[in-house]
Amino acid sequence: MNYFKTGLLIAAMTALFMGVGALLGGQSGMLIALVVAIGMNAFSYWNSDKMVLRMHGAREVDQRSAPELHGMVADLARNADLPMPKVYIIDNPQPNAFATGRNPENAAVAATTGILQTLTREELAGVMAHELAHIRNRDTLIMTVTATFAGAISMLANFAMFFGGARNNNGIGILGTIAMMILAPLAAMLVQMAISRTREYAADRLGAMICGNPAWLASALQKIASGAKRVPNMAAERNPSTAHMFIINPLSGARADKLFATHPDTGNRIAALERLAQEMGQPWGSTSAAPGSAPAGPWG
């Protein structure tokens, strides 16, 4: 089913990209946009994950350089019946994390230094389990392809004013060009939002089951949401098309569960996790570790 959704998404984004090309250059512009879109589809499939990681300055770590984080991800990946993903750390004070990759065999999880310093071990396990859930649900390809296309559509729309639209070809004129500059990125953004908001709830549920305690993830979400409001993420501000990939919206001024929000409201997500805990027969509000495991405390 996710392969069908991915194909449908790529077709929709390609059509939007071609529409912008047609408005800019008529039929020839549409054909050029089609060729570019085909190239972007291929590039996005093979390289969009590397590009997103590079945008955010992520550095890969292994068992030697980050034994605790790497070991935690390995344990959770076994719980999720997934291949071991690559693990990255982003030198960024905002607490946040995301997953990327075209399939479970070529996946990566990335955590900021801010999240490592803010969360307890159990809370971080909940976050990493959430990101592994995205990988298991094959959301990561959809999210990275969307980020690539959204950024390209916004850039193409911004070029419209320089080229003056396609006045001679289709008579849209300056008003049509301005409208296209606004509506094309808006359409791409709405696709991003629809994908992110529906997939976050599913990843929360599966992630809570992977780590074994919904309260761990709920507590983490509350801390991350608070930290994201206080600490700016300049890399995300420079690359807003990647915002939907993070577990919590990294952009400043975000309003949750509104028309233009990339993520569901944190309170609604926590309420859903509380209902899941009741289904699992677990007491709500306890984020302490199981007996015999590492004690809770600041991860950093």
Which of these is catalytic: 60, 122, 123, 131?
Answer: 131
Tens of pLDDT, residue by residue, the chain (300 residues): 455 665 666 676 677 767 767 766 667 767 777 777 677 667 766 777 898 899 999 999 999 999 999 999 999 999 999 999 999 999 999 999 999 998 999 999 999 999 999 999 999 999 999 999 999 998 887 776 666 666 666 666 666 555 554 444 444 556 655 665 666 566 656 665 655 667 899 999 999 999 999 999 999 999 999 999 999 999 999 888 788 889 999 988 644 445 456 688 999 999 999 999 999 988 886 554 443 334 344 444
The interaxial angle of helices 121-136 and 139-163, nearest 10 deg, is 80
Task: Give the pLDDT score at 23.
Answer: 66
Contact 128, 74 (CB under 8 A): no
Strands 58-61 and 86-90: antiparallel
Whole-number Å distance between alpha carbons of 130 and 122? 12
Whole-number Å distance between alpha carbons of 241 and 189? 8
Beta-bridge mates of residue 120: 298
Q: Is 131 a catalytic residue?
A: yes
Q: Show the CA angle centred on residue 143, arms to residues 79 and 255, nearest 5°.
A: 100
Inter-CA distances, 21 with 7, 31, 46, 94, 186, Å:
21, 8, 24, 37, 16
Question: In sequence order, which residues have a C-beta less than 8 Å from that of residue 166 and are 6 or more positions away?
Answer: 22, 23, 24, 25, 26, 29, 172
Helix (H) or strand (E) holding 150: helix 139-163
Burial of 155 (0-12, 13-18, 19+ CB in 10 A): exposed
Contact 131, 207 (CB under 8 A): yes
Burial of 81 (0-12, 13-18, 19+ CB in 10 A): exposed
CATH of the domain spanning 48-163+183-279, picked from 3.40.190.10, 3.30.2010.10, 3.40.50.740, 1.10.530.10: 3.30.2010.10
φ, ψ (nearest 5 deg) of residue 279: -65, -35
Whole-number Å distance between alpha carbons of 50 and 140? 12
The interaxial angle of helices 173-211 and 2-55, nearest 10 deg, is 100
- Residue located via tokens 């409201």: 265
Domain ranges of the chain: 48-163+183-279
Picking from 104, 111, 115, 112, the residue whose alpha carbon sits closest to that of residue 140 is 104
